[in-house]
Amino acid sequence: MSSVSPIQIPSRLPLLLTHEGVLLPGSTMRTSVDSARNLQLVRSRLLKGTSLQSTILGVIPNTPDPASDAQDLPPLHRIGTAALAVQVVGSNWPKPHYTLLITGLCRFQIVQVLKEKPYPIAEVEQLDRLEEFPNTCKMREELGELSEQFYKYAVQLVEMLDMSVPAVAKLRRLLDSLPREALPDILTSIIRTSNKEKLQILDAVSLEERFKMTIPLLVRQIEGLKLLQKTRKPKQDDDKRVIAIRPIRRITHISGTLEDEDEDEDNDDIVMLEKKIRTSSMPEQAHKVCVKEIKRLKKMPQSMPEYALTRNYLELMVELPWNKSTTDRLDIRAARILLDNDHYAMEKLKKRVLEYLAVRQLKNNLKGPILCFVGPPGVGKTSVGRSVAKTLGREFHRIALGGVCDQSDIRGHRRTYVGSMPGRIINGLKTVGVNNPVFLLDEVDKLGKSLQGDPAAALLEVLDPEQNHNFTDHYLNVAFDLSQVLFIATANTTATIPAALLDRMEIIQVPGYTQEEKIEIAHRHLIPKQLEQHGLTPQQIQIPQVTTLDIITRYTREAGVRSLDRKLGAICRAVAVKVAEGQHKEAKLDRSDVTEREGCREHILEDEKPESISDTTDLALPPEMPILIDFHALKDILGPPMYEMEVGGIKDKVLAAHRAGLKQVIIPRRNEKDLEGIPGNVRQDLSFVTASCLDEVLNAAFDGGFTVKTRPGLLNSKL
């Protein structure tokens, strides 16, 4: 042995009771303190003590601390570890607790418990001598063959790991620099071992016994790693350290329920996250920030709220598509065909997309344009944006801006706030996974403003081609290049868009459709879509163009085609009921019934021509296919035409006219039945004129009639 005088621990030590985790001499771990006696120990001894001796504790494993002071101490484990408290971190979330960073010094044995409250203090006997053991030839001779065998297995295990990892390289150097007596405790705390095995090593006071118990653990780890190398793919070999070794730093909850396996998995995730940061293609500035944050994360106890925030931040950084993009399809002819197939009319808009493709062919690094489609609801602004992405072969992401009144929705929250998260732009990039998607900023004219800022002002940086190459989200706090993103905004009007924001966008007007365009859109897109959604086929239902024109003129009055689409859906639902009922009846009828009633069907069809599909309910057989939708069927399904419908409140209106002294009242013809509810004396004083079109109203309203005749080919306005 060396002549260096040993370091002695105090003969009396305060005891820190731990239930999960075993601290071995020479190792370091973090432990959470949240029980009554342990909390009192930290507050009275560590936080108020001023000497080095006040930072030395006796850590007793496999002994839970009672929840309250009133409860007696449980039986204490005989052997403990004297530890030096290196760091104390307090927190009140989710409940008051402290996190201690402690380093094991030596073993001790409890001689007598001197005091139990407010925290236990015991008289102890030191079992290990804290000396500097030089790695000399004399020591090698004393340790003999057992020490050499242990050293050989330790070196073999470490060299099977990835030496490019700093922690592994440092461990390899420690094998040569540390005294052999300290290696069993240190390696046992690093490799995968259970708490029971660690407890056995702690109880092994004899150095020879300690070597004999540790060697099988090393052999088991080596065999497991060999098997792993045979089964894993070659590209994953650099991750073998994750299975074989854990960081020396560990977190143990005294009164929690977290198991060692969960801790190991979490530590392994941190190692994998560090590898992703090293191999990512993020810019240099972002890489520096991530390296700095991962270093902070390693030193941070998992119980701290900031731990989860930092980890979420780093995971977002490695998932963002810094340099990942899709290849544009620049075939103009194919793009023209695709746009024509998806959308009818909209020539100005299609022309602008084809212009972008043409210029993109000639210039590879073209910045994405900022387009704004302005038009009434239902004309297809959003669906055109999706078609543009399909034409270019890009990912598509829609961001709904209607009602947004917080600038953090655009720029994100600063990470100093609880529950902070990135803005919608960065979240959208994470979702699509590429840096050149098509972003649709829907309803940009409906942005709000509040005490949380003006989101329209935040969009100024996003939608400016001269600035968005260096867009900085508050959450990321590093620049992200948005210049390759194709932004398409939609709006119903430009009146509510701020002038500065409007100046940054290229306005493309999307006007409403004519009747002829609506008919084409209905038969090219809407009717096939509704048939597919309702499980119908063209062999089961037919909607002629004249019927479509009736729906457009009599049941809808809009610039777009949303109401037309809903009316077609109502027709398909009614036909689906008839088809389903017909199939049910057909299943019940046998062949003899069908032949007997065939003549009956022909007789009925000759005598009574049905005016609508509702007449088929009187037949026992299923309806004839295809079901033809005509004007009579429209009345049965959709009701009376919207612009020939009766009005309400006829009685109130007539009584008001009577009180005002009027003598003549013009009402819709369909409201003639409402005159019965008007008192007889009022009816006698008034003259009623019923009208079904605007010409009849004008003829009745003007003395001598209205001389302008309706020209042929024009539709009369219906009441």
Integer-rounded Cα radius of gyration of the chain: 41
- pLDDT averaged over the chain? 82
pLDDT at 716: 55
CA-CA distance, 563 to 638, in Å (whole number)? 12
Q: In whole angstroms, how far apart are CA 136 and each of 6, 151, 153, 266, 361?
A: 18, 15, 20, 40, 74
pLDDT at position 321 over 70:
yes
CA-CA distance, 331 to 592, in Å (whole number)? 61
Positive/negative CA dihedral, 643, 563, 527, 625: negative
b/e per residue, 404-421, with b = 16+ CB within 10 A?
bebbbbbbbbebeeeebb
pLDDT at 636: 87
Q: Apex CA 641: angle with CA 635 and CA 646, to 5°?
A: 115
Residues 688-717 have a mean pLDDT of 73
CA-CA distance, 326 to 321, in Å (whole number)? 11
Name, in order, each residue with C-beta under 8 angstroms of 639's C-beta and a sequence gap of 6 or more.
none
pLDDT at 117: 85
Name, in order, each residue with C-beta under 8 angstroms of 550's C-beta and a sequence gap of 6 or more.
631, 634, 641
CA-CA distance, 675 to 654, in Å (whole number)? 9
Q: What does the pLDDT look like over 397-433, one tens digit per residue?
A: 999 999 899 999 999 999 888 788 999 999 999 999 9
How distant is the alpha carbon of residue 395 from its chain centre? Answer: 17
Structure tokens at 508: 């493309």
Q: What does the pLDDT look like over 653-687, one tens digit per residue?
A: 999 999 999 999 999 888 888 888 899 899 999 99
CA-CA distance, 429 to 439, in Å (whole number)? 9
Identify whether the C-beta of residue 124 lies closer than 8 Å to the C-beta of residue 110: yes
pLDDT interval class at 21 (50, 70, 90): confident
Residues 309-332 have a mean pLDDT of 91
Q: What does the pLDDT look like over 205-254, one tens digit per residue?
A: 888 888 889 999 999 998 888 888 777 655 444 444 444 444 444 434 33
For residue 396, report the phi and psi dihedrals to the nearest 5 degrees. -120, 135
CA-CA distance, 718 to 554, in Å (whole number)? 8
* Strand 506-509 with 396-400, pairing: unpaired
CA dihedral 310, 315, 318, 322 (to 10 degrees): -90
pLDDT interval class at 554 (50, 70, 90): confident
What count of other Cβ atoms lies within 10 Å of the Cβ of residue 394?
24
pLDDT at position 719 over 70:
no
Helical axes 137-159 vs 166-177, angle rounded to 10°: 160
pLDDT at 714: 52
pLDDT at 118: 87
Q: Which residues pair with 491 in a beta bridge?
A: 374
Identify whether the C-beta of residue 175 lies closer than 8 Å to the C-beta of residue 183: yes
Name, in order, each residue with C-beta under 8 angstroms of 449's C-beta and a sequence gap of 6 or more.
405, 455, 456
Omega prior to 216 cis, within 30 of 0: no
**DSSP summary character for residue 329:** -
Per DSSP, which regions of 624-708 are E strands?
627-628, 664-668, 687-691
For residue 59, report the phi and psi dihedrals to the nearest 5 degrees. -95, 120
Identify whether the C-beta of residue 53 lies closer than 8 Å to the C-beta of residue 162: no
Identify whether the C-beta of residue 116 lies closer than 8 Å to the C-beta of residue 330: no
pLDDT at position 623 over 50:
yes
First to last CA, the chain: 113
pLDDT at 366: 76
pLDDT at 294: 92
pLDDT at 592: 44
Identify whether the C-beta of residue 79 lies closer than 8 Å to the C-beta of residue 203: yes
CA-CA distance, 402 to 443, in Å (whole number)? 5
Identify whether the C-beta of residue 172 lies closer than 8 Å to the C-beta of residue 163: yes
Return the percent helix, strand and coil in the chain, to nearest 5.
Answer: 50, 15, 35
Structure tokens at 701: 């309203």
pLDDT interval class at 132 (50, 70, 90): very low
b/e per residue, 302-318, with b = 16+ CB within 10 A?
bbeeebebbbebbebbb
pLDDT at position 609 over 50:
no
Residue that is written with structure tokens 């219906």 in the block: 718
What count of other Cβ atoms lies within 10 Å of the Cβ of residue 573?
14
CA-CA distance, 531 to 571, in Å (whole number)? 10
**DSSP summary character for residue 324:** -
Structure tokens at 114: 């001197």
Q: Apex CA 249: angle with CA 247 and CA 250, to 5°?
A: 105
Helices (H), 300-407: 305-319, 332-342, 347-362, 381-392
Q: Amino acid letter at 383?
A: S
CA-CA distance, 425 to 397, in Å (whole number)? 10
Residues 550-555 have a mean pLDDT of 90
CA-CA distance, 216 to 246, in Å (whole number)? 18
Model pTM greater than 0.75? no
CA-CA distance, 294 to 305, in Å (whole number)? 16
CA-CA distance, 173 to 170, in Å (whole number)? 5
pLDDT interval class at 143 (50, 70, 90): low
Omega prior to 118 cis, within 30 of 0: yes
More reliable by pLDDT, 161 or 706? 161
643 three-state secondary structure: helix
pLDDT at 93: 76
Q: Which of 460-464, 561-565, 624-628 has the lowest mean pLDDT?
A: 624-628
Residues 286-303 have a mean pLDDT of 89
pLDDT at 702: 85
pLDDT at 1: 38
